[in-house]
Amino acid sequence: MPKRIETLVLHDSTTPVIGDIEKGGSVVLTTVETLINQARANSLWPLTFGLACCAIEMMSTVASRFDLSRFGSEAFRATPRQADVMIIAGRVSKKMAPVLRQIYDQMPEPKWVISMGACASSGGVYNNYAIVQGADQVVPVDVYVPGCPPSPDALMFGVLKLQEKIKRQKAKTLADLRLVDLKPQARAEA
Ligand code: SF4
């Protein structure tokens, strides 16, 4: 299907330029694609998925001192069906890996993953038979946050990097915009 992106008039020229939104004459011009990317990037809802000590730092990011809500991501959800970003905070044991994958599969599209800390990203100091040597062996990871543990600031930087990545996404077809769930049947069976 050929790419078809509509041009929309947003509002007047006094509005600041956001991202790659183009300013033209007395109006601000953008595309549906850019609007969708902006909306998605600035309203990430993380899944509550703490696995070890890194989770304490993850919790701190939504507390008053760091306040992740400044970037629209303070709504941590307790169910994968209401979340679109999984923050893997802590080591992934081999026993937990299938659970991690199932929860990831239950998240609706589009979805993203942040691997928080050395353990989640590479196994960290736990180079043994019980720990998965990198969460990317189980789910696709979009952003890796280094550290042991990463500070709340580092996780927030990771969220900002994910926002940049989402804003850069380009749709080649209408399906790439992922406005509708193309496989509702498959999800119901999950
Ligand atoms: S990276 Fe460090 S703080 Fe995070 S889970 Fe591993 S040992 Fe704990």
pLDDT digits (tens, 9 = 90+) for 157-178: 999 999 999 998 877 666 667 7
What is the rounded average pLDDT for all residues in the chain?
Answer: 83
What residues does ligand 1 touch, defined as CB less than 6 Å away? Answer: 52-54, 90-91, 117-119, 124, 148-149
Residue 190 has what pLDDT?
52
Question: Which residue has a Cα nearest atom 6 of ligand 1?
Answer: 119
Q: Whole-angstrom Cα distance, residue 162 to residue 19?
A: 14
What's the CA-to-centroid distance between 119 and ligand 1, angstroms? 6
The residue that leads in pLDDT, 30 or 123, is: 123
Q: Which of 148, 151, 155 to mutate to test the pocket of ligand 1 (most atoms within 8 A of CB)?
A: 148
> Is residue 35 within 8 Å of residue 8, measured between CB atoms?
yes
Residue 47's pLDDT band (boundaries 50, 70, 90)? very high
Q: Whole-angstrom Cα distance, residue 125 to residue 183?
A: 39
What's the CA-to-centroid distance between 73 and ligand 1, angstroms? 22
Q: Whole-angstrom Cα distance, residue 105 to residue 158?
A: 22
Average pLDDT over residues 126-143: 94
The residue that leads in pLDDT, 31 or 153, is: 153
Residue 18 has pLDDT above 70, yes or no: no
Q: What are phi and psi of 75, to 5 degrees?
A: -85, 75
What's the CA-to-centroid distance between 59 and ligand 1, angstroms? 14
Residue 120 has what pLDDT?
94
Residue 26 has what pLDDT?
46
Residue 134 has what pLDDT?
92
Question: Which residue has a Cα nearest atom 3 of ligand 1?
Answer: 149
